[in-house]
């Protein structure tokens, strides 16, 4: 759907359409090329500036004239809930102080300690996958819906184990997070989920404070106590780790596997790659597999110029990370999967002070999951009759509905 003369109207029309959920690049390409600072509206009708070029996104992510404070209404749940105030509402020294415990507990070095447990959990889920003998027509073999059979359960189990959430609580936690991030596919509504999750997190914090264990939540609590952080902020921080954990990692992994499966030869190429090349390919997969095309809101605190346009105080901004990740001004042949120089320097985890604190854990889980699949299967092929891919969600939270594949066992 090409942009017409009324750019804002047309961009809004596509942004809130099923077409955008299915194929964001259809909107992003013309915006990035001709309207890199484009006026659009959120689902609630709030006017925002959408920034879609890599250079502009990077410049503003590091500009302290844009802030998160005031972008969202506090007390959104309608009750006093610690989860209403979180890192998305904070900037500067206050944001850094509350974020610091999570940054330490989820650093690459800290996360690596959990590598054996993550591998054991993910491998145990992969071992349950049914492999099919490759027939003369590969698509005629029995198929597996890989998201429900492997991706979602392995990401839930590995994330909750690393965080320190008891196995008996996994089903409830998954249901609550689904309601907050994927309300169209959830069994309960978002308000009910929020009302249940917050007291659960308070109980978890009390338990880990009394009997700390070798897990991320216990490490966060120890560091937070040393930093003098308020109890509500500790609960909110743990909530963000849970909410932003397995769900987004699982969606990224599903998109990555879908990419490898639907581009013939790419799964085999990834499986055969030497460690350095595989790591670079992994990062390019993450660049191409971002499940959240748009960022959270920022607010302009002081006038700032971008792409020849002046944004005024009070203006709100969203970054099109999905568009910036495919900007041919930065990436040669951006739709290709390649082991690129500076491969980790994409925007899938953000940039600057609000860089995703769980990036190292997500990278490890995705790498282990793809590695386990590469060990167990010679190839993963699209199932016969699977049809075109279907995504659900919104412009903020987008997910692949199904991933029907044929798993060709390793010889």
Name 393's bridge partners. Answer: 398
Give the torsion sign (CA, 52, 53, 58, 60): negative
The mean pLDDT value for 377-384 works out to: 92
Kindly report the number of other CB atoms within 10 A of residue 260's CB atom: 26
Most confident stretch, 6-20, 65-79, 228-242, 335-349: 335-349
In the predicted model, is pLDDT for residue 304 greater than 60? Answer: yes
pLDDT tier, 182 (very low <50, low <70, confident <90, very high otherwise) = confident
* pLDDT at 181 exceeding the cut of 90: no
- Residue 350 backbone zone (phi > 0: left; psi -120 to 50: alpha; other: beta): left
Whether 100 and 225 have beta carbons less than 8 Å apart is answered as no
Q: What is the pLDDT of residues 29-66, one digit of tens each?
A: 988 998 999 999 988 889 999 999 999 999 999 899 99
Q: How confident is the model at residue 8 (pLDDT cuts 50, 70, 90)?
A: low
Helix, strand, coil tally for the chain in percent (to 5): 55, 10, 35
pLDDT for residue 87? 84
**Averaged over 254-271, what is the pLDDT?**
95
Distance of CA 115 to the CA centre of its chain: 20
Rounded distance between C-alpha atoms, residue 204 and residue 211, angstroms: 10
CB 134 within 8 A of CB 240: no
Q: Which of 81-85, 329-333, 406-410 has the lowest mean pLDDT?
A: 81-85
> What's the 3-state SS for 217-246?
HHHHHHHHHHCCCCHHHHHHHHHHHHHCCH
Average confidence (pLDDT) over 96-119: 93
Is this prediction's pTM over 0.75? Answer: yes
Which CATH fold would you assign to the domain 7-409?
Cytochrome p450 (1.10.630)
Average of per-residue pLDDT across 295-307: 94
Nearest Cα neighbor of 394 from 108, 4, 38, 17 is: 17
C-alpha to C-alpha distance for 101 and 97, rounded to whole angstroms = 8
- Residues in Cβ contact with 31 at an 8 Å cutoff, skipping those fewer than 6 apart: 3, 11, 38, 50, 52, 320, 323
Per-residue model confidence (pLDDT) at position 411? 75
pLDDT tens digits, one per residue of 346-356: 999 999 999 99
Residue found under tokens 């009910």: 192
Segment 148-154 shows an average pLDDT of 96
CA distances from 345 to 251, 256, 286, 314, 383 (A): 20, 18, 11, 30, 34
Going by C-alpha positions, the residue among 287, 276, 259, 257 that lies closest to residue 372 is 257
**pLDDT for 188 beyond 90:** no
Torsion 374-375-377-379 (CA) sign: positive
- Please tell me the distance from the alpha carbon of residue 245 to that of residue 298, in angstroms, as a whole number: 22
Give the DSSP letter of residue 65.
T
- What's the Cα-to-Cα distance from 118 to each of 85, 86, 226, 361, rounded to whole Å? 31, 27, 28, 10
Whole-number pLDDT of residue 295: 92
Highest mean predicted confidence (pLDDT) among 6-20, 55-69, 184-198, 385-399 = 55-69
**Residue 79 in this model has a pLDDT that exceeds 80:** no
The pLDDT of 274-289, averaged and rounded, is 96
What tokens does 295 get? 């960022």
Mean pLDDT of the chain: 89
Q: What percent of the chain has pLDDT over 70?
A: 92
Looking at 127-274, list the stretches that DSSP marks H as alpha helix, in order from N- to C-terminal side: 146, 152-163, 170-181, 190-210, 216-226, 231-243, 246-262, 266-272
Residue 25 has pLDDT above 80, yes or no: yes
Q: What is the pLDDT of residue 396?
A: 83
pLDDT at 402 over 90: yes
């Amino acid at each position: 759907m090409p942009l017409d003369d009324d750019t804002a109207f047309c961009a809004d029309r596509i942004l809130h359409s099923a077409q955008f959920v299915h194929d964001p690049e259809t909107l992003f390409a013309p915006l990035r090329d001709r309207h890199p600072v484009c006026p659009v509206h959120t689902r609630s009708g709030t006017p925002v500036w959408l920034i879609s070029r890599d250079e502009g996104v990077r410049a503003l992510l590091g500009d302290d004239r844009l802030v998160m404070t005031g972008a969202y209404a506090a007390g959104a749940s309608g009750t006093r809930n610690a989860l209403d105030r979180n890192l998305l509402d904070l900037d500067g020294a206050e944001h850094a102080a509350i974020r610091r415990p999570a940054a330490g507990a989820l650093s690459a070095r800290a996360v690596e300690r959990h590598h054996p447990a993550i591998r054991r959990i993910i491998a145990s889920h992969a071992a349950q996958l049914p492999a099919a003998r490759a027939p003369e027509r590969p698509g005629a073999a029995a198929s597996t819906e890989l998201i429900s059979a492997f991706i979602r359960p392995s990401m839930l189990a590995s994330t909750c184990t690393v965080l320190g959430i008891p196995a008996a609580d996994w089903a409830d936690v998954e249901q609550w997070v689904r309601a907050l991030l994927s309300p169209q596919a959830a069994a309960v509504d978002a308000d009910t989920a929020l009302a249940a999750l917050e007291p659960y997190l308070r109980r978890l914090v009390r338990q880990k404070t009394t009997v700390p264990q070798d897990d991320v939540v216990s490490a966060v609590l120890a560091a937070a106590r040393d930093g003098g952080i308020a109890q509500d902020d500790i609960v909110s921080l743990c909530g963000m780790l849970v909410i932003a954990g397995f769900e987004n990692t699982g969606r990224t992994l599903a998109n990555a596997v879908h990419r490898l499966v639907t581009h013939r030869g790419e799964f085999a190429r990834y499986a055969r790659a030497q460690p350095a090349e595989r790591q670079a390919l992994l990062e390019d997969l993450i660049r191409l597999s971002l499940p959240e095309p748009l960022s959270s809101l920022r607010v302009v605190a002081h006038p700032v110029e971008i792409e020849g346009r002046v944004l005024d105080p009070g203006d709100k901004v969203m970054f099109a990370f999905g568009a910036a990740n495919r900007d041919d001004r930065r990436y040669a042949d951006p739709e290709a999967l390649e082991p690129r120089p500076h491969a980790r320097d994409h925007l899938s985890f953000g940039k600057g002070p609000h860089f995703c604190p769980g990036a190292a854990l997500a990278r490890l889980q995705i790498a282990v999951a793809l590695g386990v699949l590469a060990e167990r299967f010679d190839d993963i092929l699209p199932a016969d009759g699977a049809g075109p891919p279907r995504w659900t969600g919104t412009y903020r939270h987008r997910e692949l509905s199904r991933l029907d594949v044929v798993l060709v066992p390793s010889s």
